[in-house]
Amino acid sequence: MNMNETPAHQLPHWQLARDADGIAWLTLDSPGVSTNTLGAAVIAELDTRIRALEAEPPVALVFRSGKDAGFIAGANVEEFTQLADGAAARAMVQKSWDLYARIEALPFPTLALIRGHCMGGGLELALACRYRLAVDEAATRLALPEVMLGIVPGWGGMLRLPRLVGPAAALDMMLTGKQIDARRARKMGLVDDAVPPRVMEDAARILVRSGRPAHRPGFVQRLLGGPLRGVAANAARKQVARKAPREHYPAPWAIIDTWQHFGGNSLAVPPGHPASFEHLLGQGTAMNLVRVFFLQQRLKGLGKHDGGEAAFSPRHVHVVGAGVMGGDIAAWCALRGLTVTLQDQGVDRIAPAIARAATSFGKKFRGDRKQVRFALDRLIADPRGDGLRRADVVIEAIFENLDAKHALLRDIEARARPDALIATNTSSLRLEDIATALAAPERLVGIHFFNPVAMMPLVEVVSTEHSDATAVRRATAFVHGLDKLPLPVKSAPGFLVNAVLGPYLLEALRCVEEGIAPETVDRAATDFGMPMGPIELADTVGLDIALATGRALTGAQEVPARLQSRVAAGKLGRKSGEGYYRWTDGRAQKNPPGDVPAGLTERLVAPLLAATQRCLAAGVVADADLADAGVIFGTGFAPWTGGPLHYAARHAR
């Protein structure tokens, strides 16, 4: 591309160049960072660049990124935490709102060339352009995830997105924070086209000068954005009410109110209104959710390449045990691009795991048979364990029996490569006890996944004081490479997550024993913000497992009689069709819950808080932030609280 570069001078973030056709290319490439974000300096510099283009208009303008990581990750969250109050937030939003309005009003066509992530304020910038062109590859994702931080898309997203794609799709995106891939974005009208990387620049030139009219949603969606706006808003409120109580999560309610009553302009919301910046920042949830965001970023940072052994990038994983956990671990590894050999006592035991994987891959790839076949080709039934000798990582995932694990691990150590990482997925046995079977016990690490593997983001990386540090680093890097959140924990009964869940579930079952309806107990937990009630969770895990692990992890001598009787009768929960609830088509059949008695929520949560504090004191995790992160991402503990220890500290004042 023959371009005349504009000297950078004091404008290091946005590089401006004009090509021979008179098209201006404005490239965001912030120095010293791997990801572009829209901090105050970047916004101020963009304002300067736009003023220059207003003074000397090009034929057209294309926004793009100079980063391999993606387009724009959104606003700078660090700067958000430094806002003094709602008034400061309002002033910050005003600058970007005005700038994006000027971009939308430019007298020449504009286009956002989107490759990789396009989030938050980055998507709002793209929405201010006349055209949007997405690069059709797996890394391209578009989203307005502000609601996940307890805030709203204040730079024009609530105004422009519903106008572009219709209120139903727009509200769904804004209320969930879901990410949209390039093809889905094209289908819904969020982008004008999706093209391969090799033609993206030529396609951008053609589209930005095409004169193509802007996309318009269908007639019904236009009605829902106009005379029937209240209908769409009420439908959205019903959706939100099922998952996000207003008292804990005000942001989704604020999005609906702002769109319905204030035309999508958050600056028009009066300071005293529940949808205002002042209320959202003053209520506390936003800062707690920002805390959760940084906790997640810390976990994501574990296992990244640091110039040492953490650069471990395995290509072949061997999993022994094709039950639900082992099979699903194998399927996830194959989905993430690894070659996986799956071993069990016969093909008949492996076949159900591969069938489950095929169903899962079909949903993941939305019926794209080629992609499903590629993923299935990477998942190889291996009843004789031939793949063990070639594997970079070997994961033992058989039933929780110490003698059986010892026999298996002796065989694994004898046959595996000397440099292979050997791991166990045990959930309740001590790593020290399992490792005694090995000639080199320091070689064994725990890599503890949670069920369902595809849904649960956290994986505990377990070590002992004698564990080889290199093996632990490699295990952490392996988990990171699977797009999971690695949590380093020390070997202890239940590690962290199960150790805090055990007392919580036991207390819930005791409440039922005392005559409180299971539905009421579950409602107390879900109203607090747990993703699932503890009784339904016990049924989902399996009452036999809850009974066994409960005894082991809580030391309780008195197990609830109803739990024992159900297990004795074979009523094990979801897997048997009946436990505390009857189960139909994978769903618990519940009666309407009663009113939650005063103090019940606090009673349920107290054992979990105490157990988290005990784990921290015992050194199971290194610090309080990691404890909070582990319990949030491993149990779903109400994110609005900022984590159990954070919540306990605030309520102890």
| pLDDT for the residue numbered 81 | 84
| pLDDT for the residue numbered 68 | 85
Q: Are residues 345 and 475 in the same domain?
A: yes
Boundary residue ending a domain (491, 510, 528): 491
Q: Can you give the residue range of the structural domain that contains 466?
A: 314-491
Instruction: Kindly state the tokens that stand for 143.
Output: 């989203």
Q: What is the mean pLDDT of residues 641-647?
A: 97
- Within a domain: residue 403? yes
pLDDT at 7 over 80: no
| pLDDT for the residue numbered 118 | 97
Q: What is the mean pLDDT of residues 201-230?
A: 93
How many residues belong to the chain?
Answer: 653
Angle between helices 369-377 and 347-364 (to 10 degrees): 140
Chain-centroid distance, C-alpha 512? 33
Q: Give the number of other CB atoms < 10 A from CB of residue 105.
A: 9
pLDDT at 611 over 90: yes
Q: Are residues 357 and 451 in the same domain?
A: yes
Q: Are residues 480 and 502 in the same domain?
A: no
Q: Are residues 485 and 505 in the same domain?
A: no
- Within a domain: residue 302? no
Q: Could you give the CA distance from residue 479 to residue 333 in angstroms, rounded to a whole number? A: 10
Q: What is the DSSP letter of 108?
A: S
Residues 374-398 pLDDT 10s: 999 999 999 999 999 999 999 999 9
Nearest 5°: phi and psi at 357?
-65, -40
- Within a domain: residue 293? no
pLDDT at 8 over 60: no
- Within a domain: residue 290? no
- DSSP readout, 305-323? --SSGGG---SEEEEE--S
Instruction: Kindly state the tokens that stand for 79.
Output: 């700067």
Q: Which CATH number fits the domain that encloses residue 604? A: 1.10.1040.50
Q: Are residues 16 and 143 in the same domain?
A: yes
Q: Are residues 376 and 262 in the same domain?
A: no
Q: What is the mean pLDDT of residues 345-368?
A: 93
| CB burial of residue 477 (10 Å; 0-12, 13-18, 19+) | buried
Q: Could you give the CA distance from residue 580 to residue 521 in angstroms, rounded to a whole number? A: 12
Q: Are residues 484 and 502 in the same domain?
A: no
- Within a domain: residue 299? no
Q: Which CATH number fits the domain that encloses residue 473? A: 3.40.50.720
- Within a domain: residue 306? no
pLDDT at 1 over 50: no
Distances (CA, A) of 512 to 61, 233, 540, 573, 597: 64, 38, 17, 15, 13
Boundary residue ending a domain (230, 263, 283): 283
| pLDDT for the residue numbered 243 | 86
| pLDDT for the residue numbered 365 | 87
Residue 397 neighbours by CB under 8 Å, 6+ apart = 319, 320, 321, 323, 325, 326, 329, 424, 425
Q: Are residues 558 and 429 in the same domain?
A: no
**Averaged pLDDT score across all residues of the chain:** 93
SS3 155: coil
Q: Are residues 482 and 507 in the same domain?
A: no
Q: Give the number of other CB atoms < 10 A from CB of residue 643.
A: 26
- CA torsion 339→345→346→348, rounded to 10°? -100
Q: Are residues 67 and 205 in the same domain?
A: yes
pLDDT at 96 over 80: yes
What's the number of domains the chain is made of? Answer: 3
Boundary residue ending a domain (451, 467, 491): 491
| pLDDT for the residue numbered 295 | 97
Go through 343-353 and write b for each residue having 16 or more CB atoms within 10 A of its CB, e for each that does not. Answer: bbeeeebbeeb
Q: Could you give the CA distance from residue 348 to residue 379 in angstroms, rounded to a whole number? A: 15
Residues 403-456 pLDDT 10s: 999 999 999 999 999 999 999 999 888 999 999 999 999 999 999 999 889 999
Q: Are residues 330 and 279 in the same domain?
A: no
Residues 62-71 pLDDT 10s: 999 999 889 9
Residue 106 neighbours by CB under 8 Å, 6+ apart = 50, 53, 54, 57, 61
| pLDDT for the residue numbered 133 | 98
Q: Could you give the CA distance from residue 642 to residue 628 in angstroms, rounded to a whole number? A: 8
| pLDDT for the residue numbered 546 | 82
Q: Could you give the CA distance from residue 179 to residue 185 in angstroms, rounded to a whole number? A: 10
pLDDT at 307 over 50: no
Q: Could you give the CA distance from residue 495 to residue 432 in angstroms, rounded to a whole number? A: 13
Q: Are residues 606 and 467 in the same domain?
A: no
Q: Which CATH number fits the domain that encloses residue 58? A: 3.90.226.10
Q: What is the model's pTM?
A: 0.91
Distances (CA, A) of 546 to 209, 377, 492, 509, 549: 63, 36, 18, 10, 5
- Within a domain: residue 289? no
What is the set of active-site residues?
A: 427, 448, 460, 498
- Within a domain: residue 301? no
Maximum C-alpha span of the chain: 81
